[in-house]
């Protein structure tokens, strides 16, 4: 899922008095993947405010929490991403440790942009990927429409064949983390999967609507406070918008969702009741707590982390996920305190050497509690895709790469097959794709750190499976 990718590969830091106030720059080396970051720190009457930015993606700005600076030591947190940073300022440097997903990385911020840091803000292309379109033999229209909540306006692009009605209309729904209409993954990965998929489908005769998620790029709203339910309502709003287009009247409409978007698609189908088809691309289909444990294990192994390190806190995470699912009704304060209590009880399950090294149990447990406390994560962990998959009777295609470490193929494709058998869906096709990863790239290990090293954005074999399946149903 994109959340984990975004979570593991995105980072930042800082806090302040006059000497720490202002902009700071760094490039994080996350197991071989280089990630540029920018910090903005302000001190307003003794109250610190800060944000971290990804300079490669327009609109990707995350506010920092709990900023402290004692004149030398800097600490800040970004709760929505489960990030903490602790460092020491020495002149024009802040050197410290960046922690996310319980993994530490050394990180140094400087006042100047280090070599390799993007000079300009906003989307950049290091090098155009071979599959990105350079010509557009079809109609392209910038569109905007009301989202799934007051104050949310979604902006995007509708592409259609040059002449005549399209065979069908398709709404593209992206995965976890703030994504624009192209599902652009930042300059270090430098791929735009939805731009490639949209181009392929439109050339094949389909109308495709892709949009910036709420609070991203040209869309309004607040992404940081949005849950999967909120994003589902936005996707349904996109479907309803297509139905307002007079020139598209009576044209079949479906939803294609990738990763979390593939989890959202069945929710939209249930709310709408009239969708004509679904395309589930690397879609979660098992309970999310089970998925997250397996995802965590497979991603970490693919990135070279020792299995003993991966397993040492799995009992605590399993207990926390179960508790979260049983306590969805709690207010935020009760939820956070309850979660601290769960991890406190689980300390005895940690290896003895690690347990003895813990000086402040609450500070130690904060590395788990804070990433699990955002509105999105609270809702996400309690979600069960089977509740929606087992109700589906519309034509459905589900595909997944067998080297996907984020949404492992076998466990999730099997779960989709079982759900389709339960619902009695007469037109469900499930296709495993050998040697492809979570982004449908030809891969070696399937690790997220590999994505940017692969030239292919969306493997032709996966595109052809999608195109052929649609063509069989829409002439």
Please provide residue 194's backbone torsions phi and psi, each rounded to the nearest 5 degrees: -75, -25
Burial of 307 (0-12, 13-18, 19+ CB in 10 A): exposed
Tens digits of residue pLDDT in 135-173: 999 999 999 999 999 999 999 999 999 999 999 999 999
Report the range of poorest mean pLDDT among 125-129, 191-195, 270-274, 464-468: 125-129
Cβ partners under 8 Å of residue 63, min gap 6: 49, 50, 51, 78, 224
Tens digits of residue pLDDT in 386-435: 999 999 999 999 999 999 999 999 999 999 999 999 999 999 999 999 99
CB 172 within 8 A of CB 256: yes
Instruction: Using DSSP bridges, classify how beta strands 93-100 and 73-78 pair: parallel, antiparallel or unpaired.
Output: unpaired
Confidence class for position 122, pLDDT limits 50, 70, 90: very low
The end-to-end CA distance of the chain, in Å, is: 33
Cβ partners under 8 Å of residue 246, min gap 6: none
**Which domains occur in the chain, in start order?**
2-110 (2.40.128), 139-287+393-473 (3.40.50.1820), 288-382 (no CATH)
Task: Kindly state the percentage of the chain with pLDDT values over 70.
Answer: 92
Count Cβ atoms below 10 Å from residue 329 Cβ, excluding itself: 7
pLDDT of amino acid 101:
67
Burial of 294 (0-12, 13-18, 19+ CB in 10 A): middle
In this predicted structure, the answer to whether residue 118 has a pLDDT above a threshold of 80 is: no
Angle between helices 361-369 and 332-346 (to 10 degrees): 120
Task: Kindly state the percentage of the chain with pLDDT values over 90.
Answer: 63
- 355-364 contacts: CB < 8 A, separation 24 or more? none
Cα–Cα dist 305/405, whole Å: 14
pTM of the model: 0.76
pLDDT of amino acid 5:
41
Taking residues 290-310, what's their average pLDDT? Answer: 85
- Chain centroid, CA 151 distance in Å: 23
DSSP result, 390-415: TT--S-EEEEEETT-SSS-HHHHHHH
In this predicted structure, the answer to whether residue 4 has a pLDDT above a threshold of 60 is: no
Confidence class for position 57, pLDDT limits 50, 70, 90: low
Tens digits of residue pLDDT in 60-111: 788 888 898 888 889 999 887 778 899 888 777 898 889 886 778 889 998 8
Tens digits of residue pLDDT in 323-379: 999 999 999 999 999 999 999 999 988 888 888 888 889 988 998 999 899 999 999
């Amino acid at each position: 899922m994109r959340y984990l990718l975004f979570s593991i590969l995105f980072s930042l830091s800082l806090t302040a008095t006059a000497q720490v106030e202002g902009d700071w720059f760094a490039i994080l080396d996350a197991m071989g993947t280089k990630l540029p970051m920018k910090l903005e720190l302000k001190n307003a009457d003794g109250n610190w405010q800060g944000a971290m930015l990804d300079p490669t993606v327009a609109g990707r700005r995350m506010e920092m929490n709990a900023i402290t600076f004692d004149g030398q030591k800097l600490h800040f947190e970004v709760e929505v991403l489960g990030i903490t940073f602790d460092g020491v300022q020495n002149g024009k440097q802040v050197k410290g440790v960046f922690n996310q997903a319980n993994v530490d990385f050394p990180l140094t911020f400087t006042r100047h942009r280090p070599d390799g840091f993007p000079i300009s803000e906003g989307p950049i292309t290091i090098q155009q990927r071979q599959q990105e379109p350079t010509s557009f033999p079809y109609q392209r229209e910038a569109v905007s429409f009301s989202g799934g909540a007051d104050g949310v306006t979604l902006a995007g692009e509708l592409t259609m064949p040059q002449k005549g009605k399209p065979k069908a209309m398709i709404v593209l729904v992206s995965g976890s983390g703030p994504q624009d209409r192209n599902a652009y993954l930042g300059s270090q990965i430098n791929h735009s999967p939805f731009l490639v998929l949209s181009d392929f489908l439109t050339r094949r005769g389909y109308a495709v609507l892709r949009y910036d998620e709420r609070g991203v790029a040209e869309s309004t709203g607040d992404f940081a406070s949005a849950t999967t339910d909120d994003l589902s309502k936005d996707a349904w709003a996109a479907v309803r918008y297509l139905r307002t287009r007079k020139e598209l009247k009576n044209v079949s409409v479906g939803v294609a969702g990738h990763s979390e978007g593939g989890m959202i698609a069945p929710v939209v189908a249930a709310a709408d009741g009239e969708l004509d088809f679904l395309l589930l691309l690397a879609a979660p289909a098992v309970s999310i707590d089970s998925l997250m444990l397996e995802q965590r294990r497979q991603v970490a192994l693919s990135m070279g982390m020792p299995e003993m390190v991966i397993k040492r806190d799995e009992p605590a995470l399993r207990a926390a996920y179960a508790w979260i699912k049983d306590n969805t009704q709690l207010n935020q304060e009760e939820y956070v305190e309850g979660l601290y209590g769960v991890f406190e009880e689980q300390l005895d399950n940690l290896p003895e050497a690690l347990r003895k090294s813990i000086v402040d149990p609450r500070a130690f447990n904060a590395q788990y509690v804070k990433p699990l406390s955002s509105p999105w994560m609270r809702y996400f962990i309690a979600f069960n895709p089977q509740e929606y998959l087992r109700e589906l009777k519309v034509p459905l295609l589900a595909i997944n790469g067998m080297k996907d470490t984020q949404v492992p193929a076998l466990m999730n494709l099997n779960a989709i097959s079982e759900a389709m058998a339960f619902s009695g869906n007469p037109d469900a096709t499930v296709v495993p794709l050998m040697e492809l990863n979570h982004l449908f790239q030809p891969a070696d290990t399937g690790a997220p750190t590999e994505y940017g090293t692969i030239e292919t954005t969306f493997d032709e074999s996966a595109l052809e499976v999608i195109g052929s399946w649609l063509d069989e149903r829409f002439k």
